[in-house]
Chain A
Amino acid sequence: MAKILDQVAENPFRFHECFLMSMPLGKKVANLRELLEGLREIDESVLFYHLIQSRLALGQPAVEYPNDFALWAANALQDSKLAEKLSSFDPFEYQNLGLVRQAVVDVLEEYLWDLPFVPWARPGFEFHFCQASAVVMHSLIAAQTLKEFCAALTQVGLDSIYYHFFEARWRLGELKSDDFSYWIETNFELPELVKAIRDVDIYFYSLKELRETLLGLIHQHLGELCDHPR
């Protein structure tokens, strides 16, 4: 296995850095019906922010709910049932953001349909729509071998992990793929490792944990020689 760690890839992996700047729209909704109407109209970038990007903007120490909508249902509407439904919703099951939007709208519409009242947020807990602008930059960190890749994973910021592991899914147009597994797939004969990385249940890890999980998987598949996480 040591050999494959030093095998030189045809194309080196070049890490990018991603600087997100959250941009509130100054628009808020106070109840579930308004959220539903809002979701039908907002830009896809707003949906993407609340489902995926907000975890980079301010990751909480322990994620009770994986996206902003579920968090809002729990904290503002104090509706645990809805929070559970919105938590189990997985945006990566869909091919594009249009379909993701339709799926969230369906969840909310069905939920509201059966309710005799419209749940309102506690005052001061309205849902505030946001999007983000991103500045993406070459990090000057690159890896030609898996050994260098492991070392680089511990050097790059968490925003790089976000960019290559989350943002990549929409960029590549393949929601089950990501930059890391794509690079390994196209440069090395390691289908089991590729599958293991793609099978990571990403919703349950912080970016820091994801970094360690990736290193752990490479370590597990290739033996002792991969650089250990700090």
Chain B
Amino acid sequence: MITLDDYAPIVGEEVVGQLHRLAEHLQGRRFVHINSTAVGGGVAEILSWAVPLLNQLGLKTTWEVIMGDPAFFEVTKAFHNGLQGFKVNLTPAMLEHYRQVNLENARRFSWEADVVLVHDPQPASLIEVLRPQARRWVWRCHIDASRPHLAVWRFLREIVKQYDASVFSMSQFAQNLPHPQYLIRPSIDPLSEKNRDLTEEEIKAVLHRLEIEKDKPLILQVSRFDSFKDPVGVIQAFRLVRRHTPCKLVLAGGGATDDPEGPEILAQVQEAAQGEPDIQVLLLPPDAHHEVNALQRAADVIVQKSTREGFGLTVTEAMWKGKPVIGGAVGGIVLQLRDYQTGFLVHSPEGCAFRIRYLLHRPEMARRMGQMAREFVRTHFLITRHIRDYLTLMILQDNPNSRLIEL
């Protein structure tokens, strides 16, 4: 089992020591997380490592997953798209079904908590039924809600207003709400199967298994097949690069159980890639962490050309592996990549193609950027900083009206 002390060689002993000292003030507190998928996507990944570590620190932390039928996830996907600015149609029947599924889930929840952190819109309306079961309710929005579609936000706002606080990944996503709002940036686990160091043999074995021949520079995008990740835009960029520089493209992605649009977008991508032997589209299972790790380490340039992005953990993962990353200038990617320092931000397939060419022709610059990116992640986007934010948030929930708490 991984313990907190295992992170000391990576982040420094003083960082781990701080977590223990902070947690001393929270011994025995009951901390419940609720989301809508146990595997696939960034939220489930974060919870899979955060929950055991918080327990090691002496907080009684549990993770609950709500269940829903396909119609429920159609509604919540519409919420997701609407929060990210797409115009979506929500009928009263859809909203009723959303509430009904939450009500059914609420009936099987018997936990009691000091603080409950409800992740994203899917389980948000649980508060309407379960309010007395927790002392403080905090809504955690992982989505790029910088310009939400009004009809969707109007509906969700009435629910979110009932919470005691909310947490966003960036100040741009915060809303006009009647309670305190906090910023917590997501993070990655450097010791997880997705991010741990791999040997050359391990990387080669994965490439062999996935039938990827490394005979040309490798461009990679890892993400769910989702229109906001713009996989078709990546293929356009790749075709522009190929006019000048030989290389190959791998688009690797899995699905999440709460994302019904995946198959449709995958079909579009396969069509766009047709007839191009240097493009490989890999549909990986949601637990293919080892494969993703190896692909990221094998890649020469990593792309995350999203058009909306809550944070972009795949960007963080690639940066941690010391790779030069090109990302869409949206959402949390802007926080992570700074032109010519920790990566490149782009606004179009053309811009993406230009930066890929730049990095392929300047390997020394690519290496330096990768190193700077790794150090930036070490300071700001590793799990230990995230745990520290959770602990701080818990302490603040004990003293909601105070801006300065001295322990």
Contacts and interface: CB of A to CB of B under 8 A. Distances in A.
A58 B168 contact: no
A200 interface: no
A131 B403 contact: yes
A21 B407 contact: no
A135 B392 contact: yes
A25 B403 CA distance: 14
Contacts, number: 103
A188 B144 CA distance: 53
Contacts of B146: 124
B338 A58 contact: no
A156 interface: yes
Given A128-B172, A133-B405, A62 B181 contact: no
Contacts of A19: 22, 388, 391-392, 395
A45 B21 CA distance: 27
A177 B171 CA distance: 32
Interface stretch (B87-95, B242-250, B373-381): B373-381
A135 B396 contact: yes
Given A19-B392, A124-B146, A137-B22, A24 B171 contact: yes
Interface in A47-84: 57-62
B177 A17 contact: no
B171 A22 contact: yes
B342 interface: yes
Given A133-B405, A157-B18, A61 B395 contact: no
Nearest to A124: B146
A206 to B, nearest CB: 9
A24 B181 contact: yes
B370 to A, nearest CB: 13
Contacts of A107: none
Interface string A169-200: 00000000000000000000000000000000
A133 B335 CA distance: 21
Nearest to B178: A26
B176 interface: yes
A103 B182 CA distance: 29
A126 B171 CA distance: 10
A134 interface: yes
Contact of A62 (B184, B341, B403): B341
Nearest to B403: A133
Given A60-B338, A137-B407, A26 B177 contact: yes
A39 to B, nearest CB: 16
Interface in A9-41: 17, 19-28
Interface in B374-407: 375-376, 379-380, 388-389, 391-393, 395-396, 402-407
Interface string B10-35: 00011100100110010000000000
A95 interface: no
Contacts of A61: 338, 341-342, 372, 375-376
24 contacts: A17-B22, A19-B22, A21-B389, A21-B393, A23-B182, A24-B181, A26-B177, A27-B176, A57-B183, A58-B335, A58-B380, A59-B379, A60-B376, A62-B341, A124-B330, A132-B403, A133-B182, A133-B403, A134-B405, A135-B396, A136-B407, A138-B407, A156-B14, A157-B18
Interface of A: 17, 19-28, 45, 57-62, 124, 126, 128-140, 155-157
4 smallest beta-carbon distances between A and B, as pairs: A24-B174, A24-B171, A128-B171, A22-B183
Given A19-B392, A24-B182, 20 more contacts: A17-B18, A19-B395, A21-B182, A21-B183, A21-B184, A21-B392, A22-B182, A22-B183, A25-B174, A26-B176, A61-B342, A61-B376, A62-B341, A124-B146, A124-B172, A129-B171, A133-B405, A134-B404, A135-B22, A137-B406
